[in-house]
C-alpha cells in the first residue's frame, strides 16, 4: 500500500499549507476560543466564566468569547458543547449538575461523563440550610427535633437539584418527612422564607449570604466536607453526626476527542487562572470557594459523583 493512502485528508490539507499536524498542536490555539455559559447571562456562573476567559487569554494568547446557551438546568448548553468540534477551541463552564445529576432523571438525555471531557475544576458552591432570623430553630439539631414532631415546609431550586438532594439525604438519615416546595432558583425560595411562608430553605449558601449578613436569615449548617470560609462558625452536617454530604463543584469541560497537546495547554491555562487574583476576588465576592482540580482529579470527581447520583436516582425511583 502506498504511504500516501495512510495519510488522512486532514493531514493532506495541512501538508498542502506547509503545516505538519504535530506543529498545528504545538501552535494551539491559532484562533480565538469560546466558553459556553449554560446558565443565565449575568448569573454567578456567567461572571466567573468571563473572569476565567480574561485570565486564560493571558496564558493562551488568543481572545476568549463567552456566550450564553441557557435552559434545561444547564442541559442545553452542555449539549451544544458535546456536539462541538473537538479542536479545543470550545469549552463550557458549569456546575457539574447537568453532567452528574440530570442524566439520571431526564429520559433520553445523552449527557454523561463520557459525552464530554472534564478539563479542570475551578470553584465550589457550598450548600446550606437557612431559616429566618426570628425562627425558633437556632440550630439544625433543633430544626430536626421539631421536624420529628410535625412536617416542616422547605423550599429548594427544584427536584433533583443539589440543594434538594441534600435534604433528601437529611430525611433518610434522620427519618423525617418534610414538605418540599420547589422554586425556579434560590431567590424564589428565599423570598418565600423571608415572607414567613416556609420553615427553612436549602440553597447555595452564597444565595442566602446577603440576607444572613443583613441579619434577616440565619445559616444553620452546610453540606460540604469543610466549613464555609465566609461563615467559619457554621458547622457541617458531618460534624453534627448527620450523614449529609452534597457537593456542588463547577469547572470547565470540552468535547470528547480534543488532542492531548491542546488539553494540556488548556488545563495549564486553567490552573494559572484559578490562582489569579481576579478569580480569587470574584469567587470571594460571590461567597464561592476556589478549588482547582486538574484534569485527572476533575475527571475522577465527575465520574464518582455520576455514580453516586445514579445510586440516589435508583433509590428515589427514577426510571432512567
- pTM confidence score: 0.81
Report the percent of the chain where pLDDT is more than 90: 74
CB of 222 closer than 8 Å to CB of 170? no
Distance of CA 184 to the CA centre of its chain: 17
Is the torsion defined by CA of 54, 58, 59, 63 positive or negative? positive
pLDDT digits 0-9 by tens, 168-204: 999 999 999 999 999 877 889 999 999 999 999 999 9
CB of 272 closer than 8 Å to CB of 94? no
Report the percent of the chain where pLDDT is more than 70: 91
pLDDT digits 0-9 by tens, 113-123: 999 999 999 99
Q: Using CA atoms, how far apart are residues 177 and 137, in angstroms rounded to an integer?
A: 17
**Nearest CA among 247, 26, 251, 30 for reference residue 119:** 251
Using the structure block, give the residue that is written with the C-alpha cell 452536617. Answer: 237
Give yes or no for residue 86 having a pLDDT over 70: yes
pLDDT digits 0-9 by tens, 258-281: 999 999 999 999 999 999 999 999
Give yes or no for residue 1 having a pLDDT over 70: no
DSSP H helices, the chain, are 9-16, 21-26, 44-60, 75-82, 97-100, 140-149, 162-174, 186-194, 205-213, 260-274, 277-285, 295-315
Q: Using CA atoms, how far apart are residues 13 and 20, in angstroms rounded to an integer?
A: 10
pLDDT digits 0-9 by tens, 91-138: 999 999 899 998 998 888 888 899 999 999 999 999 999 999 999 999
Structural domains present in the chain: 33-124+248-316 (3.40.190.150), 127-240 (3.40.190.10)
Which residues are paired to 289 by β-bridges? 124
Based on its alpha-carbon atoms, the radius of gyration of the chain, rounded to whole angstroms, reads 22
**Nearest CA among 21, 315, 14, 3 for reference residue 172:** 315
Output the nine-digit C-alpha cell for 236. 457541617
Amino acid at each position: 500500500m502506498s504511504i500516501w493512502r495512510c495519510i488522512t485528508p486532514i493531514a493532506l490539507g495541512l501538508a498542502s499549507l506547509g503545516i505538519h499536524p504535530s506543529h498545528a498542536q504545538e501552535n494551539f490555539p491559532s484562533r480565538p476560543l469560546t466558553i459556553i455559559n449554560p446558565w443565565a447571562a449575568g448569573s454567578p456562573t456567567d461572571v466567573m466564566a468571563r473572569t476565567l476567559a480574561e485570565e486564560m487569554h493571558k496564558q493562551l494568547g488568543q481572545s476568549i468569547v463567552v456566550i450564553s446557551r441557557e435552559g434545561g438546568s444547564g442541559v442545553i448548553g452542555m449539549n451544544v458543547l458535546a456536539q462541538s468540534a473537538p479542536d479545543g477551541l470550545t469549552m463550557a463552564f458549569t456546575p457539574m449538575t447537568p453532567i452528574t445529576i440530570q442524566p439520571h432523571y431526564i429520559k433520553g438525555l445523552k449527557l454523561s461523563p463520557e459525552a464530554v471531557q472534564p478539563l479542570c475544576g475551578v470553584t465550589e458552591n457550598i450548600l446550606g440550610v437557612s431559616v429566618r432570623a426570628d425562627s425558633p430553630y437556632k440550630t439544625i439539631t433543633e430544626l430536626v427535633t421539631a421536624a420529628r414532631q410535625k412536617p416542616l415546609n422547605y423550599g429548594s431550586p427544584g427536584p433533583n437539584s443539589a440543594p434538594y438532594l441534600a435534604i433528601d439525604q437529611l430525611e433518610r438519615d434522620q427519618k423525617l418527612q418534610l414538605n418540599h416546595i420547589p422554586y425556579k432558583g434560590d431567590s424564589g425560595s428565599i423570598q418565600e422564607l423571608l415572607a414567613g411562608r416556609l420553615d427553612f430553605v436549602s440553597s447555595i449558601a452564597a444565595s442566602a449570604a446577603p440576607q444572613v449578613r443583613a441579619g434577616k436569615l440565619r445559616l444553620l449548617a452546610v453540606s460540604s466536607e469543610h466549613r464555609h470560609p465566609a461563615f467559619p462558625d457554621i458547622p457541617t452536617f458531618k460534624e453534627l453526626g448527620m450523614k449529609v454530604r452534597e457537593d456542588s463543584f463547577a469547572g470547565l469541560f470540552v468535547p470528547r476527542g480534543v488532542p492531548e497537546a491542546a488539553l494540556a495547554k488548556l488545563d495549564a491555562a486553567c490552573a494559572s487562572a484559578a490562582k489569579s487574583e481576579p478569580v480569587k476576588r470574584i469567587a470571594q465576592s460571590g461567597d464561592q470557594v476556589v478549588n482547582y482540580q486538574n484534569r485527572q482529579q476533575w475527571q475522577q470527581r465527575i465520574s464518582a459523583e455520576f455514580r453516586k447520583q445514579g445510586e440516589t436516582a435508583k433509590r428515589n425511583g427514577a426510571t432512567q
